[in-house]
A and B are shown apart, each in its own frame.
Chain A
Amino acid sequence: MAIVRIRFDGGEVPIVTGSFPPDESTPIDLPSETDFVTNKAFIVDQGIYCFGLQTDIPHKPLWQRVQAVDGVPAQVSFARAT
């Protein structure tokens, strides 16, 4: 079990997951809800994930690759798009 923290300067918004989109400008197709929120660490199984945000706030990037490792907290950030 590994800890992941996803930071977002737009506040607490739901995190979604899905398969990797073909490029950085394409959002996750048919995302699945995780019930996790940004700026609050959560527990997942060790492995590779593609996380995105479920929010109307424009942000970048649209998705992030995360490798969750047992005992090594992973952290990625999303930022509001200006």
Chain B
Amino acid sequence: MKVYIGALLTALALLSGCGTRATDYPLASGQTNQMQAALNPSPNHPLVVMTFSGGGSRAAALAAAVVEHLNSLHYIANGESRALSSDIGVVSSVSGGSVYAADIGLNGPGHAGNFMQRIQDFDGIGWLERRALNPATWLALQFENETRIDILQQMLEDLLQTNATMAALNQPGKPLVLLNATDLVTGQVFTFDRQTLDDVCMDHDRVPVSLGVTASAAFPIAFTPVLLRDDSYLSSGCPGKRNAHLPYQTRLQDPAGPYANLESFRVARYRQALRNETIRMQDSGDEVPPYRNPRYLRLVDGGVADNSGLTSMRRALLATGAPADIGRLVSQGRLQHLVVIAVNARSDPKSDLDNSTRYTTVLTMANGISGSLVDNASANAAAVFQDFIKLLIDDRDTLVREGQPQANFAVYPISIDFDQLPTETEAQRQRQQRVKSIDTSWTLKPGDVARLNEVAGELLWRHPCFRLLVTAIGLQGTPAAEPVPNTLCPVKPPPVAPRTRRPPA
């Protein structure tokens, strides 16, 4: 492991260009960005939403392995066998998880097996070393204003075997993919979706998918931030015709905005800044300018704001009028089974500090603090998401009580987390430690993907909420593990049991 990290750091050090070129795909004069079509799942199928955490190659491979298991699970709908993976409606990802999120967005869930093979065979460190030792790279860094982040983007294009643009993502029949980065200045989640790119006056369809993945995976310090120009700040304003339907402004127009919902107020304020708009206050009529003027945005790893991807997922499900607005799906009776699968490749890295009194250097401290901050942000996002599910369930019960039977649905929150592996025996503990220690640096050891695949199946089948789903929709597949005894899915069931389907005898 140390050899790998050393090699990676050496390669990165050799690639330290000082480029300052901002990326820009401006919306041309009079041009519009088509907004994302609404998600319209069939009420006869479950809606599966997934989050892919950070954790480099380990996270990408684990996410693909979970989807590969969903490929092998089937149920009967309208007399036909259907894979559970066909029902993946939304994917929210950060960092390493975004690499597989891009793949599922471009190629669909059926490609998971190919991706697993690709990532097992890919040698990211070797790729970076070759580039570092290539004089052409030095010239590009010196004279073409390139930086380390450009090199990472090229590596990810090679790994994903694509230079497709965002126009190829989020097409009918494929999940809505939300690639999330962090705005270095504000700490806000920056999602590479149609709305946000429209806000910064970018032509969504020209933005390379690899740019979104790179920003999402730009591990701070190791890689320079992705630098975007916000064309909302051109002296003549955005030349294109941006989306003009802006209900977000109500949160800023009303003095009660920051009291009614501080988080959505801050998100709205961030949008206002990206769009460079003034807001007219409702009571006084005063015009309020943006709270900051981000002419340039520096985007780093999405894991800095939330390494789970849950924040962006929750916002996608919450926002009224958004493509995946859960309120609309409930109102239209499109939801019977909501399956939330949160794939988390988090580990507990071993530290020499546990057994040493040696002096704690500034570097060691910075490393520890940054790790703790990322873990805390993710834990907070998970707690907030849990609260969101609870409130959603309470509202469901109220609507059903008030005579809206179409609002009845069941929720299955399924976490895939190494901490849920059994650890009673020494062998089990060693096995858990082995998967937690799988490299994040895009060069996996032989057998790593197979190990992650085995664990993914086991974690899925052990989960009590997954077992509940199996029974509820008559899911057919080969169990990879026994259920955990005497364990209930910790979510309140719906007031009326949703339609249960059984496989034919």
Contact = CB atoms under 8 A, between A and B. Distances in A.
Interface of A: 1-3, 17-20, 22, 30-37, 40-50, 65, 67-71, 73
Interface residues of B, number: 40
Given A18-B247, A43-B392, A49-B250, A35 B331 contact: yes
B257 interface: yes
B285 interface: yes
Contacts of A19: 246-247, 249-250, 253
Given A1-B392, A67-B260, A71-B394, A36 B328 contact: yes
A66 to B, nearest CB: 9
Given A46-B261, A50-B250, A67-B256, A1 B388 contact: yes
A46 B391 CA distance: 10
Interface of B: 38, 244-247, 249-251, 253-254, 256-257, 260-261, 264-265, 280, 282, 285, 318-321, 325-328, 330-332, 388, 391-392, 394-396, 398-399, 402, 404
Contact of A43 (B247, B261, B264, B331): B331
Counting chain B CB atoms within 10 Å of each CB, which of A1, A34, A65 scores highest?
A1
B284 to A, nearest CB: 11
Given A2-B395, A36-B327, A43-B330, 18 more contacts: A1-B327, A1-B395, A17-B321, A18-B246, A19-B246, A19-B253, A32-B245, A32-B247, A35-B38, A35-B332, A37-B331, A40-B404, A41-B402, A43-B399, A47-B251, A48-B250, A65-B254, A73-B398
B318 A45 contact: yes
Contacts of B326: 43
Contacts of A32: 245, 247, 321
Contacts of A69: 260
Nearest to A18: B247
Contact of A34 (B246, B254, B261, B321): B321
15 contacts: A18-B246, A20-B249, A20-B250, A20-B282, A35-B328, A36-B331, A41-B398, A42-B327, A43-B395, A43-B396, A43-B399, A47-B264, A48-B257, A65-B282, A71-B394
Contacts of A37: 331
A31 B260 CA distance: 22
A77 B250 CA distance: 19
Contacts of B391: 1-2, 70-71
Contact of A3 (B245, B254, B399): B399
Nearest to A37: B331
